[in-house]
Amino acid sequence: MAERITVLNPMGYPPRVARRPMAPRIESLDGKRVFLVDARFDDSDLFLKQMQEWFAENMPSVRTEFVQMSSVYLRDDPATWKRIREEGDAAIIGVGH
């Protein structure tokens, strides 16, 4: 008689995701303030700091500000999003490589 085993599906059940539309594009970055947001995922800070240098050299009229989320990328950061909405014109969120 063959031994019987139970196998479970390792995929689990993905969480329900609420879709949101993309933010509208702005006509130009000229004279705008762009937040470079480090989501604290695999060296995204290094990439965003390089991007900040690129903006300074190639688009000096764009003001960039590097900010880090208060926690890891898995947790929401309402205070950072609020600040960006109130003080910035755009945001680039870095998620590493």
pLDDT digits (tens, 9 = 90+) for 46-92: 999 999 999 999 999 999 999 999 887 778 899 999 999 999 999 99
Does a structural domain hold residue 89? yes
The mean pLDDT value of the chain amounts to: 91
pLDDT score of 94 more than 80: yes
Residue 61 covered by a domain: yes
54 located within any domain: yes
Q: Is residue 18 in a domain?
A: no
Q: CA distances (Å), 10 to each of 16, 20, 35, 85, 96, in order?
A: 18, 29, 38, 39, 26
Spatial separation of the C-alpha atoms in residues 18 and 70, rounded to whole Å: 23
In a domain, 16, yes or no: no
Question: Does residue 6 form part of some domain?
Answer: no
Query: Which residues, other chains included, contact 56 with Cβ-Cβ below 8 Å and sequence gap of 6+?
Result: 64
Percent with pLDDT over 90 in the chain: 59
Q: Give the 3-state secondary structure of residue 83.
A: helix
| More confident: 45 or 95 | 45
Is position 13 within any domain? no
Residue pair 59/34 in contact by the 8 Å Cβ criterion: no
Name the pLDDT band for 13 (thresholds 50, 70, 90): confident
The domain in which residue 68 lies consists of: 46-94
How many structural domains are present in the chain? 1
